[in-house]
Amino acid sequence: MKKNILIIGLIFIIPIIAYMALTQSGTTTAKEALAGRPQILKFTSAMCLDCQTMNKVFKEIFPQFQNKITLTEINVQDKNKYTQEQIAKYNVTLVPTIILLNSQGVQVQRIEGAIPKARMEKYLKDLK
């Protein structure tokens, strides 16, 4: 009987733990962004296949830009006030949406959906 309870418990607990691990963000928030640096706002979701594609692209190319550009990843599934304000401010209706802001905080590029690695790298090189 105890074995059955343990198995049933694991069936419910493992997916919850996996969901929590997938939705956690390891990037900075806009509040932590350094003044005078260009910024990327990456609106994403753990359930989105194009978002996962773009996450792979960023893992490959972003390390060379991390000292020059601030990356802020915003999980649209988070229901906190900051996330909802950013979604409304940038009128995000589709994920992934990537907003490139120059060092003055002005939007210079909006990318909706997945794009090739080479094109994303060019956008980052041109961001000042």
**7: in domain:** no
Q: What is the pLDDT of residue 77?
A: 92
Say which residue the tokens 């994403």 belong to: 44
**119: in domain:** yes
Q: What is the pLDDT of residue 49?
A: 94
Q: Which domain holds residue 105?
A: 27-126
| CATH (domain of 33) | 3.40.30.10
**44: in domain:** yes
| The two three-digit tokens of residue 38, written as one number | 């260009």
| The two three-digit tokens of residue 31, written as one number | 């509040």
Count of domains observed in the chain: 1
**71: in domain:** yes
As a whole number, mean pLDDT of residues 107-122 equals 95
113: left (phi over 0), alpha (psi -120 to 50) or beta: left
Three-state DSSP at 115 gives coil
**10: in domain:** no
If one compares 62 and 128, the residue with the highest pLDDT of the two is 62
**53: in domain:** yes
pLDDT digits (tens, 9 = 90+) for 31-42: 444 468 999 999
**13: in domain:** no
Q: What is the pLDDT of residue 128?
A: 85
CA dihedral 25, 35, 126, 92 (to 10 degrees): 50
**11: in domain:** no
Q: What is the pLDDT of residue 121?
A: 94
Name, in order, each residue with C-beta under 8 angstroms of 11's C-beta and a sequence gap of 6 or more: none
